Structure 1
Amino acid sequence: MIGITMGDPAGVGPEIIVKAVAEMAPDQRAETRVFGCRRTLEAAREAVGAEIDLDTVQVTDLPVEGGPLPWGKEDARGGDAAFRYVEAAVAAALAGEIGCIVTAPLNKATLNAAGHHYDGHTGMLAALTGQKGAFMLLASDRLKVIHVSTHVALKDAIDRATPDRVLATIRTGDAHLKELGYDAPRIAVAGINPHCGEGGLFGSEDDIQVAPAVALARDEGIDAHGPISADTLFHRAYNGAFDLIVAQYHDQGHIPVKLVAFDTGVNVTLGLPIARTSVDHGTAFDIAGQGIANHENMNHAIAYARKLAAGRGQ
């Protein structure tokens, strides 16, 4: 069983969920549970013109105050609802009722306006599961990237790339790929500086912070390589040289994946006692309610979630 959270009810989340569920085979739909507002899902069904009876879908109904809310409008009630959907799904995951959570997009402004002060899903999930932090992995067919840091300023990201943190990121990525069925994942660690510092000409961080972590990972039996200059590494991995890249900061990892898999990349949260995947796009308030939102990314997030749930079941 997987659980899908509806995200901000004024965004495109309800629409892409309805489209995705409508296309599921009956056995897959029976293994899917939606955490959201039934009235909003009905409004989304009308908006997209989907021929599906929502009574055939397992819905944990968490009504929105005054809902359905107007499409495409920032509203603190939507932020509070998005939080409650995730909160309920986490409780179900911790109780073993679902094997993986798939999250539709939320809006950080409405989330914080409702008093839930998180930088997004990852921080919220860490707090709800009692963890200090988590790791973000972006997955596509030919390129997978896990990040040492994400939503921090670039100058802070360099400081966060400590040997301990880089090693923890390598370990987490290695464990994740093994969970997916890789026997010995080939992991490449990107350098921080151009050409990995060129022997100290462009900085010493790669020698002091990254290289020791790679050496420790190799001592543990992990097939880790690096640091490798990022300007060539992503091309090499895309063409099959590596199974996973460890990126040192947000844009270093996000830009290549979004270039090659903008509509199909999946956001995966690792390092928590629960599994979670997500679409890799926002609430798209500008098109919400028009029935035109593309649900391809949601389909990929659901497919990846089923792989994770199956792995955990085994």
Structure 2
Amino acid sequence: MTPLALTSGDPSGIGPEIALEAWRRRNDDALPPFYLLTDPDFLAARAQSLGMALPFKVVQPDAAASVFGDALPVVALHARFEDAAGEPRSANAAGVIEAIDRAVDDVASGRAGALVTCPIAKKPLYDAGFSFPGHTEYLGHLAGLRYGGTATPVMMLAGPDLRAVPVTIHIPLADVPRQLTTQAIIDVATITAADLQSRFGIEAPRLAVAGLNPHAGEGGAMGHEDDEIIRPAIDALRQRGIDARGPLPADTMFHARARATYDAAICMYHDQALIPAKALAFDETVNVTLGLPFIRTSPDHGTAFDIAAKGIARPDSLIAALKLARSMADATAVRP
């Protein structure tokens, strides 16, 4: 089985320890083989500080699966990490970026079956000269370099009971009506439907499209965006053969009976998607990047600097991200 490539994220956060803990639970949780891209000396020091006497072995990616049962496979970075739990440092930016670059190269070359990323922090990267808005945008850039063409990354929150996709993401709520466009909804929904087919094995995806305003605008009484922006997008999606319906009042979209009628919810802004996803399954929800030529999943939480190296970080979301990445890779492999 081709292993998964796992980046340890910001070394000052909880990424390294949840990676260690995930490997420790590999048998109980039936985890697929993965290897961790990190600085081995740093990892040894962090494991010692946590009292985690876990064996790991420095290997090349093609040997990871064979050692996974007995030791955590580690692919050594050229960069070195400063061990400063809870204190993000720009000196670690080179290693954080190297891990992402090499993991994408491994997936592109077939050495890894998918990419799973632990959380990174933007500020130390910016301080070191990183010019991309965030992790996802950088992965889109790398996809163009490694695979050619362009990529439009789309964020999906995938849990056991809900898949939710926001059209607008990290912008102020006041800016959403101005930045929400018919074309953006069409693009996000089209990518979502395509990846549900190719990565999740859903032959005819059903999309539920949320309205922006209370009661989906109630015929213009509570806003015109639902009729003027969202409804034309849904009409266009249907003309493309995509099963999309709405705009639906968001307050009645997420109970159990409603969720049973669709495969993904297309939401208009960040919290409209993330609040129900995290409320339903905070520890099991996974951040999936759609629209890339490779599979990428990530835990649905941040670096958690405040609890780093305290031995209380839970690996549940990372474990779910590893399992989902394997499932998506398998679904992709069996398609004609």
Alignment coverage as a number of residue pairs:
312
5+ residue gaps, structure 1, are none
SS in 1 for 2:188: helix
Q: Whole-Å Cα distance in 2 between the matches of residues 258 and 29 of structure 1?
A: 23
Matching residue of 2:89 = 75
| Contact kept in structure 2, 1:30 and 1:57, CA below 8 Å | no
Q: Whole-Å Cα distance in 2 between the matches of residues 73 and 83 of structure 1?
A: 18
Structure 1 residue 72, shift from structure 2 partner: 0.9
| Contact kept in structure 1, 2:212 and 2:225, CA below 8 Å | yes
Q: Whole-Å Cα distance in 2 between the matches of residues 148 and 237 of structure 1?
A: 24
Matching residue of 1:59 = 74
Structure 1 residue 256, shift from structure 2 partner: 1.2
The one of 6, 13, 19 aligned to 1:4: 6
How do 1:154-193 and structure 2 match up within 5 A?
154-178=173-197, 179-193=199-213
Q: Whole-Å Cα distance in 2 between the matches of residues 214 and 277 of structure 1?
A: 28
Structure 1 residue 219, shift from structure 2 partner: 2.1
The amino acid of 1:166's aligned partner reads: I
Structure 1 residue 238, shift from structure 2 partner: 6.1
Matching residue of 1:146 = 165
Q: Whole-Å Cα distance in 1 between the matches of residues 20 and 258 of structure 2?
A: 33
5+ residue gaps, structure 2, are 58-70, 145-149
| Contact kept in structure 1, 2:195 and 2:291, CA below 8 Å | no
Structure 1 residue 258, shift from structure 2 partner: 1.4
The one of 33, 40, 50 aligned to 2:52: 50
- 1:185-227 per-residue CA deviation (whole Å, 9 max, x = no partner) reads 2210001111121111222111121111111222222221111
Q: Whole-Å Cα distance in 2 between the matches of residues 259 and 39 of structure 1?
A: 38
The amino acid of 1:15's aligned partner reads: E
> Does residue 1:272 correspond to 2:292, yes or no?
yes
| Contact kept in structure 2, 1:177 and 1:185, CA below 8 Å | yes
| Contact kept in structure 1, 2:285 and 2:300, CA below 8 Å | yes
- 1:142-200 per-residue CA deviation (whole Å, 9 max, x = no partner) reads 11101212112234333332222111211122122223122322210001111121111
Q: Whole-Å Cα distance in 2 between the matches of residues 52 and 111 of structure 1?
A: 30
| Contact kept in structure 1, 2:117 and 2:298, CA below 8 Å | yes
Q: Whole-Å Cα distance in 2 between the matches of residues 158 and 269 of structure 1?
A: 24
Large movers: runs of 4+ above 3 Å:
28-31, 47-51, 236-239
How do 1:1-314 and structure 2 match up within 5 A?
1-25=3-27, 31-55=33-57, 56-65=71-80, 67-130=81-144, 131=150, 133-178=152-197, 179-235=199-255, 239-314=259-334
SS in 2 for 1:138: strand
The amino acid of 2:86's aligned partner reads: G
Matching residue of 2:147 = none
